[in-house]
Amino acid sequence: MTLVDTPPVRTSAPLGRVVLAELRWVLRRPRNLLALLMLAALPVLLGTAIALAGGPSRGGPSVLTAVAGNGLVLPVAALVLAQSLLLPLVVAMVAADALAGESAHGTLRGLLLAPVSRVRLVGVKAVGVLVMAVLSVTVVAVSGVVTGLVIVGGDGLVTLSGTTLPMGSALGRVALAVGWSSVQMAAVGAVALAISAFTDHPLVVMAATMGGLITFGVLGTIPALDWLHPLLLTTDWSAVVDVLRDPLSGDTLATGLFRAGCYLLVGMSVAVGRIATKDV
């Protein structure tokens, strides 16, 4: 009698296949596609309004004032505006669907009972949130670049310091703004994902995340609480404008990245800890 070696039986799907399935689910949802369309429309509306008005009104934010005749400032200005509300809202919505939405539809229990590591499950969901966060920021920036060059005009980037950067360097500054803002939105996504692990109601996740960010913004404007400002995620969000300065000022940008990294680590740790101990 001969023994025939049998191939090992796979108990879980390959990681790449699972990630691709999650990304297809995220990127095919009508609400997510509508959110991306809304983000793409923001720079178009902003650039059109500035062009029709002959430039922003005096006394407005300096980054908006610099848009007139300087189209490559538009993507950064659009990121500043979207970062305060629209981008966090989109990221919170996707994070809410990732765990709380699955739980509300009764599918999370099946995922937790499957022979798949729960840490891996959270990791796959986090990838979906991260991709949507990066894609959302990129859509705003790309739409801003195209709109700025077509509607506003300009063959270079006139920085807030008064110098002029060539097209290549200008696009590099825009890419830097995209990367920096993506990390900030990834931190928001990690916090929202942690909240999503504790509830079955996606609206609770969105309300808690946006309510927390609004509270952070209000606390950040109170001088008496300056000791608290280094702990608030939103403290350095306006620092993305520093990419428009020459020479580039990186201290505040680096501080913002470090703070976002801390929130990202804490949020993911809480989400993993909750799902790992969640009853089914």
The residue-averaged pLDDT of 122-133 equals 92
Q: Among 7-21, 124-138, 197-211, which stretch is predicted with the lowest mean pLDDT?
A: 7-21
pLDDT for res 211: 95
Residues in the chain: 280
pLDDT for res 89: 95
Residue of 53 and 229 predicted with greater confidence? 229
Residue of 132 and 53 predicted with greater confidence? 132
pLDDT at 205 > cutoff 70: yes
The residue-averaged pLDDT of 240-250 equals 87
pLDDT at 6 > cutoff 70: no
Residue of 10 and 226 predicted with greater confidence? 226
Distance between CA 71 and CA 68 in Å, rounded? 7
pLDDT interval class at 212 (50, 70, 90): very high
pLDDT for res 13: 62
Q: What is the pTM of this model?
A: 0.89
pLDDT interval class at 223 (50, 70, 90): very high
The residue-averaged pLDDT of 139-155 equals 87
Those residues whose C-beta lies under 8 Å from the C-beta of residue 248, and which sit 6 or more positions away, are 173, 242
Distance between CA 85 and CA 250 in Å, rounded? 24
The residue-averaged pLDDT of 104-126 equals 74
DSSP character at residue 158: E
The residue-averaged pLDDT of 258-275 equals 94
Whether the link from the prior residue into 202 is cis, omega within 30° of 0, is no
Q: Provide the CA 199 distance to its chain's centre, in angstroms.
A: 22
Q: State the DSSP H helix or E strand holding residue 164, giving kind and residue range, or none if neither.
A: strand 164-165
Nearest 5°: CA angle at 143, between 78 and 66?
40
DSSP character at residue 159: -
- pLDDT tens digits for range 153-175: 767 788 888 888 888 888 999 99
pLDDT at 57 > cutoff 60: no
The residue-averaged pLDDT of 267-271 equals 95
The residue-averaged pLDDT of 69-96 equals 91
pLDDT for res 1: 46
